[in-house]
Chains A and B, each alone.
Chain A
């Protein structure tokens, strides 16, 4: 048994098999419980790791969107709003269990279509999807306790537009509370990542969900625009601040209830008394998790000046052990950038960072010949006025800034148009609480980062949006109090 390899760390390939997938060559729209042909143009969804076509999907036209909204309206007026909370809960529990049963298939599809490492889709995305449905299934018959007084009512038809960074998880964040509250849904997955939403539609058929309760229309921005401007009662959007602003404008005065979960530029604050090895892990999880395609990513590292050199040295060492490559390989830490468009944006902002005088360092990893890739990168010597300290890059790029006192850390952390999340690293509990109290961000992690739980509300301050998802607060976004009366 001669050992032929020269380095143990060149782990032999351990790819997850795609044979579990039963994909169609082309997909229609999921309307009124059936897959139907759309009337719009077809487009392809590709694997960002290989640029190979996975399947053909259709861009829903105005006619298709109206048809989907009509189906949702009929389902709302028909069976769904008359069903007891306990019965709605049964459907949600059933969906949660089916997600668990088909977990591996969903994880493989997600990694294939999105480019994220299989270990993340397998260990984070899909388990959280199931958790979200389980959590809101439990709420369905307890809406009197959602904080809106007795007998709150559903809003009606919800238009939901989700991003490409966590395709299935964002679907769960949107659909689970909407259905638990008694609404019906028309959801549009992102243009580059429609695959798992379409497999999810099969799960809905398996679960025997009444037709029209959930409708899925694929397409790009135009389809999304048609959807939010259709005859719906609620709009929920996760994505860029720019699009969020346009949606706020177009829904203003229409009476549509709106939830926006937009961008972020989170500060990850490391004090000199932090548990250092764990802080390094937290910095890595904060910015390189999901290739940095995370709205709450810890993209600004604020490190106390007296430990900056040590933290950077340790961080570089740790980054050198990250494994970039095939998203379906079980040992991959950093997968592919989701699209060429996003890769161009990351490159552009990184080049600006360098031009503005920050020092760039990228982990030494081999970049595959095909597909969209960006090596984990940090910028040191970043000042608050640099664009890489202000603009959301939405990629594996970390800007390192320093501070001297807790007061300076707080003011630098808050000095952003965003306010979605923040992280604090210190072994001293009293300091952590005092600093957390002064940070204007929706989610604050201490001695950890990028942890999600369905019972915990999530959402932002300022340009990071409004409304909350998750927990009781997330439910309230899909309910009106009895006093508000029928629309």
Chain B
């Protein structure tokens, strides 16, 4: 059973409709975003699902996951906090920001917090050089920019997320 088709029947069709009927392969990238929406990584089963939909081999799909940095084949934090440390951002203190943020959170760059909520990592240019330090958050199926940051602002945002997740859990229980 194709789980992607079963879970997102309308969205899969909407994605396929963007491309000529004989060019289904173009749908691999949008389908990969769909596949990692919930868990923030692409599970092995999804490779087969996408391969079936796009009429390619699962190796073709896996190669796309490997090539592009926004797809992951391993789980990490529910929210990936990705700090740009490229040169223009570094000139505005991005490296110091990343270092201090990790220190305050108590993890090393690339690691995930023990509650499984946040992974903090350095990434390449995010087109926000004028508002550094900045980071993007990849999670819940989307990406959001956090600009003109200080360590305090970032920590406050993390606290908000923790509180929200806790409230969600309590409501579900």
| A and B associate in one complex | no
B residues near A (Cβ < 8 Å) are none
A residues near B (Cβ < 8 Å) are none
